[in-house]
Amino acid sequence: SSEVLEAIENVVQGVFQSLAQKKAPVLTVANRTDWRNIEFKDSVGLQMIPGCTTKQIRSDCPQSARRFALMLKILSMIYKMVQSNTYATKRDIYYSDTLLFGSQSVVDQIINDISCMLKIPRRSLHVLSTAKGFVAGNLSYTEEDGTKVNCTCSATVFTVPSNVEGIKNLTSHAKFILIVEKDATFQRLLDDDFFSKVSPCIMITGRGIPDLNTRLLVRKLWDSFQIPVFTLMDADPHGVEIMCVYKYGSVSMSFEAHHLTVPSVKWLGLLPSDLKRLNICKDALIPFTKQDENKLASIRKRPYIACQPLWKKELEIMAASKLKAEIQVLTSISSDYLSRVYLPNKLQFGGWL
């Protein structure tokens, strides 16, 4: 905590020094969303380059003065929380003054900018995000406040903890981790008792694009148990994008890649090649939108796709057909085909990429 306090004090000191010299104070932050500042490293994923380009948030410029003030406001809130060893969610910060902040996304972006500027992970700033992910299966652990969580005993879903760093005593006999894109598929696998029928496993869903806590938990489980991590996604550009976030990270959070990515993630399904192999009726497939085409074109240009020739082939199949499919398309074969046939066969015969 002394490191965090010192980092914030240095920023404020810089503001005072500028004022003393009758200069307009400026905050310098990295261009987090610029692909030119990102490099791909196979063992880590997308990470920010050391000498990346920066942007200045000036106090004397109408376009950025408000943002400058909001950054100082949030820095002061973080300083007080670290001093008093209290925590707040991003939502708490927004609701402390909704008129001032204007929207939740403004708060989210500023917190990420501050984390990147100070080179300190967000959880060390005592800012938590409200977890939206779920976890179930062969896993038990103790939360930071001493609460014991046992996912193994029941088909109950547990919310991913808000402070993943604080959980301890993780135990599991799982043979693999299965990341499921959507909540509906996750619930279906739970209803079918999938995680105990096939072989013990841990199931996680970020319910779409995963939040930070879900990504941190997947990484923590991988570090703790060193077991295979598989993804079950829709056969569409959006599903591929989500899988890439788990495996390679995102551009906007590339400064924290070392804590968030799991480079060993495998693509289990739904593969575009599966659709032909399983004779899925064309009427059950969905035509691409212009947005899908653009998203797929962007993914195919990314540096990590060049290292994945088998993924590349699947994306070529998707691009050629201009058709996408949700995981639920497997119910057109039979209602429990996913849990009874598709996944067990894939896991037994190595049908992943």
Q: Output the domain CATH number for residue 315.
A: 3.40.1360.10
Q: pLDDT grade, residue 70 (50/70/90)?
A: very high
> In which element (H, E) is residue 196 found?
helix 194-197
Domain count, the chain: 2
- Which CATH number do you get for residue 122? 1.10.10.10
Top pLDDT among 47 and 186 is at: 186
Whole-Å CA distances, 270 to 84, 174, 194, 232: 48, 22, 17, 6
pLDDT classification of 194: cutoffs 50, 70, 90: confident
**Rounded CA gap, 63 and 70, in Å?**
13
How far is the C-alpha of 312 from the C-alpha of 258, rounded, in Å? 25
Stated pTM of the model: 0.80
- Of 128, 153, 182, the residue that ends a domain is 128
Residue reference for tokens 């380059």: 49
Domain with 294, as residue range(s), is 134-349
Query: Are 207 and 122 part of one and the same domain?
Result: no
Q: In this predicted structure, what is the pLDDT of residue 154? A: 63
Please check whether residues 58 and 160 belong to one and the same domain.
Answer: no
* 292 in the same domain as 174: yes
Question: Which is catalytic among the residues 95, 141, 304, 342?
Answer: 95
d(CA 203, CA 347): 14
Q: What is the pLDDT of residues 22-33, one digit of tens each?
A: 898 888 888 777
**Percent helix, strand and coil across the chain, each rounded to 5?**
50, 20, 35
Q: Which residues contact 53 (CB under 8 A, 6 or more apart)?
A: 30, 31, 34, 36, 37
Residue 287 host element (H or E): strand 286-287
C-alpha dist (Å) from residue 40 to 37, 115, 212, 304, 308: 10, 21, 20, 7, 13
- Judgement on whether residues 100 and 146 belong to the same structural domain of the protein: no
> Are the C-beta atoms of residues 125 and 78 closer than 8 Å to each other?
yes
Indicate whether 165 and 306 sit together in one domain: yes
Specify burial of residue 277 (Cβ count, 10 A radius: 0-12, 13-18, 19+): exposed
Give the residue from 208, 240, 231, 246 showing the smallest Cα distance to 317.
240
Q: Which of 128, 163, 193 is the last residue of a domain?
A: 128
Q: Are residues 208 and 120 in the same domain?
A: no
**Residue 291: how many CB atoms within 10 A of its CB?**
10
- Helices 237-248 and 212-225 cross at an angle (nearest 10°) of 60
Question: Are 140 and 117 members of one domain?
Answer: no
For 87-128, the pLDDT digits (tens) are: 888 888 898 888 889 899 899 889 988 888 888 887 788 888
Which two three-digit tokens encode residue 330? Answer: 């497997």
pLDDT digits (tens, 9 = 90+) for 137-172: 889 898 888 888 888 866 678 888 888 888 888 899
Residue 270: pLDDT over 80: yes
Last residue of a domain, one of 98, 128, 158: 128
Consecutive H or E run containing 54: strand 54-58
- Co-location of 93 and 153 in the same domain: no
Residues 211 and 86 in one domain: no
* Shared domain check, 170 and 110: no
Name the pLDDT band for 221 (thresholds 50, 70, 90): very high
Asked if residue 194 and residue 64 are part of one domain, the reply reads no
Highest mean pLDDT: which range of 91-95, 143-147, 227-231, 335-339: 227-231
Give catalytic status of residue 95 as yes or no.
yes
Within this chain, do residues 124 and 162 fall inside the same structural domain, yes or no?
Answer: no
